[in-house]
Amino acid sequence: MRDSAVEKIAEFLDTIIQLSGLRLRFDILLKPSGIFVELSGEDSSLLLGKNGELLNALEYLTNKLYAPIVPEGKYISFDCMGFRNKRADELKMMARYVAQRVRYLGKSFTFEPMPPAERRIIHLELLKEPGVRTESVGEGSSRKVVVYPT
């Protein structure tokens, strides 16, 4: 059952990579927490530009098409060269810096629009910080985190 989802995902990615001319390879890993697609190859930088715009686009399309046939409704996560962890570290650092600034100036700060997973990292990181609270404002792809002093 799981294997057929993996096969379909592999077939889809093969088609996309072949027709788009992108020089990429992929591995699909099955873990208890979900399906992980690890991309590599000489066009990796194209995946990661603009905060991983293309990596996110491929992840979005793949989930839209195949998440419904993945058992237990697990998410299909895409990564390339450890980008997700690096980005998470960067977001946490930015969040802590912003918290300091908001406390010091007593003025709110609005982040750039970010996808839900990235907003979540900032919300969680700032739960630990005293003197600030966070909210998300806006709709769809323009939704962003705002940090307020408390």
Q: What angle do CA 130, 133, 137 make, to 5 degrees?
A: 160
β-bridge partners, 28: 37
Q: Toward other proteins, which CB reaches closer, 84 or 103?
A: 84
Residue type, 100: Q
- For the bound state, the minimum distance from the C-beta of residue 107 to other proteins, rounded and expressed in Å, comes to 30
Q: Does 21 bind other proteins (CB under 8 A)?
A: yes
> Quick check: helix, strand or coil at residue 135?
strand
Give the single-character DSSP code of 150: -
Exactly one of 4, 7, 25, 64 binds other proteins (CB under 8 A); that residue is 64
The count of residues in the chain is 150
Q: Does 46 bind other proteins (CB under 8 A)?
A: yes
Exactly one of 4, 15, 85, 110 binds other proteins (CB under 8 A); that residue is 15
> Quick check: helix, strand or coil at residue 6?
helix
Q: Does 57 bind other proteins (CB under 8 A)?
A: yes
**Which residues make up the interface to other proteins (CB under 8 A)?**
12, 15-16, 18-23, 43, 46-47, 53-54, 56-58, 60-61, 64-65, 139-141
